[in-house]
Amino acid sequence: MGENATYIEAGNCVGKKKISQTGIKVNCNGGEKPTFGSHNMGIINKVQYTSVDDMFSGDSLSECNLFSGKWVFDNTSYPLYKEKECKFMSDQLACNKFGREDLSYQNWRWQPHHCDLPRFNATRLLERLRNKRMVFVGDSLNRGQWVSMVCLLDSSIQDPNLKFMNYNGSNLISFKAVGYNASIEFYWAPLLVESNSDDPVNHKLPERIVRSQSIEKHARFWTDADILVFNSYLWWRRPHIKVLWGSFEDKNGIYKEVEMLRSYEMALKTWSDWLEIQVDRAKTQLFFISMSPTHERAEEWGASNDQNCYNETKLITKEGYAEYRKEGHPSTYRKQWETLSEEQLSNPSSYSDCIHWCLPGVPDVWNELLYAYIFRQ
């Protein structure tokens, strides 16, 4: 699977238990699985964009798989916004601010094979979100996509008095577009269900514990949302997860080490059961985003075994390898929250971030895809 996260309309999966063996890819409609990315790449100077209305008229959607395509270099129309002009940019993702000089990672556009991806129109989306809430729920990758969405919308609101960020002291952060009474929010819940990693700041713990049957602590913040965008992947990347039956305050709670895929399946069932009961599908659009690739092992694309995405500035062109965008990660070009040791400084690969994505960059394409599917209905 390529860099563009797979969008699943989660409501189609509720109650059907169509989780794959990976626990990641979901295909509830029996259709073709997305093949995000062909081997081909191209360079262009001029682009014609399709309108959303044309994109989803007639049978165009059924005839076109938006997830099968190629990366096209386009330094005329991209990036869709400037890093330094987005006042809500995250220092975790602001690669140019922290020293990256090669900015070509900002100029790659996703081109489906058999149609054009609709051009992102911030004003139109804000109109769609008038008097509504759009909530991203999940881990730091979903937070990155939320920051991307905020920057995409921010650029269309010129008056600084008509936009602001609200931090309410909990897991919820909200961008408010005052003129539209629209709220675009992020809620930190890296495992979706309740866990000991739920603090949005202090969550680096040696042992990961989940209450796989408990989601209400988080979900009460999303119940009235009009668009929900979920993800959960990074925090499950270990062989086993400790599952708690009982509360964290209960001294008699039962703990058990559970194989990762099984514990993930348990959490997703709790999540989907909650959607089935609590969410009004006539009101709320639901999306689940699968994992995006990391580039932590350079041997995967034929480079040195002891390297990762550090110093990478070009896409991968290895035959048969779909996860091209190794150059799109922050690497060392981000704020370091902890003081680096001399040993780390002598080996930049050791602290390179090859998981998250620079902005502007790959997450903007995820939001272009999300934009297309929001207007599909």
Residues identified as active-site: 140, 353, 356
* Alpha-carbon span 165 to 177, nearest angstrom: 9
| Tokens matching residue 242 | 């400790």
Output the DSSP codes for 151-212.
HHHHTT---GGGEEEEE-SSSEEEEEEGGGTEEEEEEE-TTSSEETT--SSS---SS-EEET
Q: What are phi and psi of 235, to 5 degrees?
A: -80, 0
**Angle between helix 362-374 and helix 140-154 axes, rounded to 10 deg:** 70
* Alpha-carbon span 270 to 276, nearest angstrom: 10
* Alpha-carbon span 157 to 165, nearest angstrom: 13
Output the CA torsion sign for 92, 232, 73, 331: positive
How many other C-beta atoms lie within 10 A of the C-beta of residue 302? 11
| Tokens matching residue 336 | 């370091």
* Alpha-carbon span 151 to 143, nearest angstrom: 12
DSSP 8-state secondary structure symbol assigned to residue 103: -
